[in-house]
A and B are shown apart, each in its own frame.
Chain A
Amino acid sequence: MSLISEGAELRGPIDGQVLAEPSLATVGDYIALLKPRVMSLVVFTALVGLAVAPGSLHPVTAFTALLCIAVGAGASGALNMWFDADIDALMTRTARRPVPMGRVQPGEALAFGLTLSCFAVVVLGLLVNVLSAALLAFTIFFYAVVYTMWLKRSTPQNIVIGGAAGAFPPVIGWAAVTGSLSLEPILLFAIIFMWTPPHFWALALYRSEEYARAGIPMLPVVAGEVSTRRHILLYTLLLVPVGIAPWPLGFAGALYGVTSVVTGAIMLLLAWQVFRERRPVERAAKNLFAFSILYLFLLFAVLLVERGWGGLIARVAV
């Protein structure tokens, strides 16, 4: 039987101050703080940026770059969970996260996030290059401070501007190889940046009650469903040409062209259904949300196959 967890307060030797109870957090709880599903998308898009970039990078250096980008993304997830524990507790989707569940103390999540952030940025700077490390540091800052602490709770444009944080990984991957930036990684950035609003607003449409309960000013909560549906269609209309752009600009081949046109047409069709459907909006919004993930994955996967695969094999062979 526990001597300390049955409601008795632990008090320190000086002034009888109340001490935090010893942690029950497991390794799994700390892994959950890293948001592994988000991290997997970050690693994938960073891999594409790294693979399509011109020039060569030793496979071990490429692995190090991806590892640092993954850890940096996970660290920003931990910082997000530290700051958002109060609102996470109010939403079904996030209530079972380690901090609102009480398995990880907020201070532990903060220390974990800060430590991993420092390690990821310093190791990337020491072992790969300074530009990619600077971009990673900015991405962590943008997600944890600009998006989480400022935009998320203050404006319905939170995920429009905050989407930049999720769009940086392929740029960091590119910078890790070349040590510079050009139009191509900016285009990859633009695809994810334009993809983020319709993706998250589709989710927000059928989770709007939860966002309202948590006091997060998502677009459906502040402007209503009709306005959100219009915004989704508008942003999808902007996204599709940006998604196709690498083909006419010569950055991608015919396979990418066909894929981006076909999947872009499906995205537009689904966004149109969300726009037209009155009640219930859930079905169309869920369809768009699910397909938007496949859309982004396909665009980047085809780029990887078309542009990056040969380069990666050549680099490993070297």
Chain B
Amino acid sequence: MSMGSVMTERDKDDGVVLTEAQKRARRSRSIAIALSLAALVLLFYVMTLVKGPMVLVRPM
């Protein structure tokens, strides 16, 4: 049995198993996405405070 087929069988059993490097990369991407979303929430919050009721007005 070839090495490749062994790994394919194992993948079927365990799903995709990430390497440590892939886990680290995924974690750093997840943190970056979380921070970006938090920044977006903060931006909308601050802009709502700044504009007040005018936040609903869409000027050209």
By a beta-carbon cutoff of 8 Å, the part of chain A in contact with chain B is 2-11, 13, 19, 22-27, 30, 58, 60-61, 64, 67, 119, 123, 125-127, 129-131, 179-180
Task: State A60–B47 Cα separation when bound (angstroms).
Answer: 7
Check A127–B47 contact: CB distance below 8 A. Answer: yes
Check A3–B17 contact: CB distance below 8 A. Answer: yes
Nearest A residue to B10, CB-CB: A3
Q: Give the A-B pair count, Cβ closer than 8 A.
A: 84
Check A64–B25 contact: CB distance below 8 A. Answer: no
Shortest Cβ distance from residue A248 to the other chain B in the assembled complex, whole angstroms: 31
Q: Which residues of B contact A131 (CB under 8 A)?
A: 60
Shortest Cβ distance from residue B53 to the other chain A in the assembled complex, whole angstroms: 14
Shortest Cβ distance from residue B43 to the other chain A in the assembled complex, whole angstroms: 6
| B interface secondary structure, majority | helix
By a beta-carbon cutoff of 8 Å, the part of chain B in contact with chain A is 3-4, 7-8, 10-12, 14, 16-19, 21-22, 25-26, 28-29, 31-32, 40, 43-44, 46-47, 50-51, 55, 58-60
Task: State A86–B20 Cα separation when bound (angstroms).
Answer: 30
Q: Which of A6, A7, A22 contacts B22 (CB 8 A)?
A: A22
Check B25–A4 contact: CB distance below 8 A. Answer: no
Q: Which residues of A contact B21 (CB under 8 A)?
A: 24
What would be 16 A-B contacts, judged by CB atoms less than 8 Å apart?
A3-B11, A8-B3, A8-B7, A10-B8, A23-B22, A23-B25, A24-B22, A26-B29, A27-B28, A30-B29, A60-B47, A60-B50, A123-B40, A127-B43, A130-B58, A179-B59
Check A11–B11 contact: CB distance below 8 A. Answer: yes
Task: State A92–B55 Cα separation when bound (angstroms).
Answer: 48
